[in-house]
Amino acid sequence: MGSGKVYSYLDHLECGRCNARFAADVVQGLCTVCGSPLLARYDLDRVGANCSPSEFVGRSPDLWRYHELLPVRSPDSKVSFGEGMTPLIPMPGTGSVMGLGRLFMKDEGLLPGGTFKARGAAVGVSRAKELGIKRIAMPTNGNAGAAWAAYAARAGIEALIVMPTDAPSVTRAECALTGAQLFLVDGLISDAGKMVAEAVSARGYSDASTLKEPYRLEGKKTMGLEIFEQLGWRVPDVILYPTGGGVGLIGIYKALLECQQLGWVGDKLPRLVSVQASGCAPIVRAWEDRASESTMWEDASTVAFGITVPKALGDFLILDAIYKTDGCAIAVDDDDLLDAQGVVARNDGAFICPEGAACFAAARSLRASGWLSESDEVLIINTGTGIKYPDTVSVSPPVLQVGDTIPVG
Amino acid sequence: MGSGKVYSYLDHLECGRCNARFAADVVQGLCTVCGSPLLARYDLDRVGANCSPSEFVGRSPDLWRYHELLPVRSPDSKVSFGEGMTPLIPMPGTGSVMGLGRLFMKDEGLLPGGTFKARGAAVGVSRAKELGIKRIAMPTNGNAGAAWAAYAARAGIEALIVMPTDAPSVTRAECALTGAQLFLVDGLISDAGKMVAEAVSARGYSDASTLKEPYRLEGKKTMGLEIFEQLGWRVPDVILYPTGGGVGLIGIYKALLECQQLGWVGDKLPRLVSVQASGCAPIVRAWEDRASESTMWEDASTVAFGITVPKALGDFLILDAIYKTDGCAIAVDDDDLLDAQGVVARNDGAFICPEGAACFAAARSLRASGWLSESDEVLIINTGTGIKYPDTVSVSPPVLQVGDTIPVG
Partners of residue B203 in chain A, C-beta under 8 Å:
408-409
What are A260-315's pLDDT values in tens digits?
Answer: 999 999 999 999 999 999 999 999 999 999 999 999 999 999 999 999 999 999 99
In a domain, A104, yes or no: yes
Q: Check which CATH number belongs to the domain holding B134 and give it.
A: 3.40.50.1100
In a domain, B297, yes or no: yes
In a domain, A401, yes or no: no
3-class state of residue A218 by DSSP: helix
Partners of residue B81 in chain A, C-beta under 8 Å:
87, 89, 107, 110, 349-350
What are B61-119's pLDDT values in tens digits?
Answer: 999 999 999 999 999 999 999 999 999 999 999 999 999 999 999 999 999 999 999 99
In a domain, B270, yes or no: yes
Q: By CA distance, what is A400's nearest residue in B? A: B185
In a domain, B188, yes or no: yes
Residue B370 CA from chain centroid, whole number: 27
Nearest to B387 among A89, A107, A170 (CB): A170
Domains held by chain A: number: 3
Q: What is the pLDDT of residue A408?
A: 79
Mutate to test the interface with B, among A154, A169, A391 (most CBs of B within 10 A): A154
Q: What value does the mean pLDDT take over residues B157-184?
A: 96
Residue A163 CA from chain centroid, whole number: 18
What are B295-341's pLDDT values in tens digits?
Answer: 999 999 999 999 999 999 999 999 999 999 999 999 999 999 999 99
Beta strands in A108-196 (DSSP E): 135-139, 158-164, 181-185
Is the CB of residue B106 less than 8 Å from the CB of residue B227?
yes
Q: By CA distance, what is A174's nearest residue in B? A: B351
Q: How far apart are CA B105 and CA B343, in angstroms?
A: 14
Type of residue numbered B31: C
Axis crossing angle, helix A354-369 with helix A334-348, rounded to the nearest 10: 100
Q: Are A21 and A136 contained in the same domain?
A: no
Q: What is the pLDDT of residue A201?
A: 87
Mutate to test the interface with B, among A161, A189, A402 (most CBs of B within 10 A): A402
Cβ pair A153:B386 closer than 8 A = no
Q: Are B190 and B169 contained in the same domain?
A: yes
Q: What is the pLDDT of residue A1?
A: 45
Buried-state track B209-227, b at ≥16 Cβ within 10 A, e below 16: bbbbbbbbbbbbbbbbbbb
Q: What are phi and psi of A166, to 5 degrees?
A: -85, 0
In a domain, A399, yes or no: no
Q: Are A281 and A172 contained in the same domain?
A: no
Nearest to B351 among A83, A150, A187 (CB): A150
Q: Are B29 and B158 contained in the same domain?
A: no
Q: Are B191 and B104 contained in the same domain?
A: no
Partners of residue B184 in chain A, C-beta under 8 Å:
397-400
Domain range holding A29?
10-77
B326 or A409, which is more confident?
A: B326
Tell me how long chain B is.
409
Mutate to test the interface with B, among A172, A177, A184 (most CBs of B within 10 A): A177
DSSP labels, A151-170: HHHHHT-EEEEEEETTS-TH
Q: Are A235 and A370 contained in the same domain?
A: yes
Q: Are strands B206-207 and B328-332 parallel, antiparallel or unpaired?
A: unpaired
Cβ pair A400:B111 closer than 8 A = no
A409 has pLDDT over 90: no
In a domain, A189, yes or no: yes
Q: Are A352 and A299 contained in the same domain?
A: yes
> Residue B263: exposed, middle, or buried by beta-carbon count in 10 A (0-12, 13-18, 19+)?
exposed
Type of residue numbered A340: A
The distance of B34 to chain A (nearest Cα, Å) reads: 26
Q: How far apart are CA B322 and CA B67, in angstroms?
A: 27
Q: By CA distance, what is B404's nearest residue in A? A: A195
Partners of residue B177 in chain A, C-beta under 8 Å:
341-342, 345-346, 351, 386, 393, 395
Q: How far apart are CA A140 and CA A160, in angstroms?
A: 11
Kindly calculate the radius of gyration of chain B based on its CA atoms and give it in whole angstroms: 21
What are B263-291's pLDDT values in tens digits?
Answer: 999 999 999 999 999 999 999 999 999 99
In a domain, B273, yes or no: yes
Q: Are strands B10-15 and B21-22 parallel, antiparallel or unpaired?
A: antiparallel
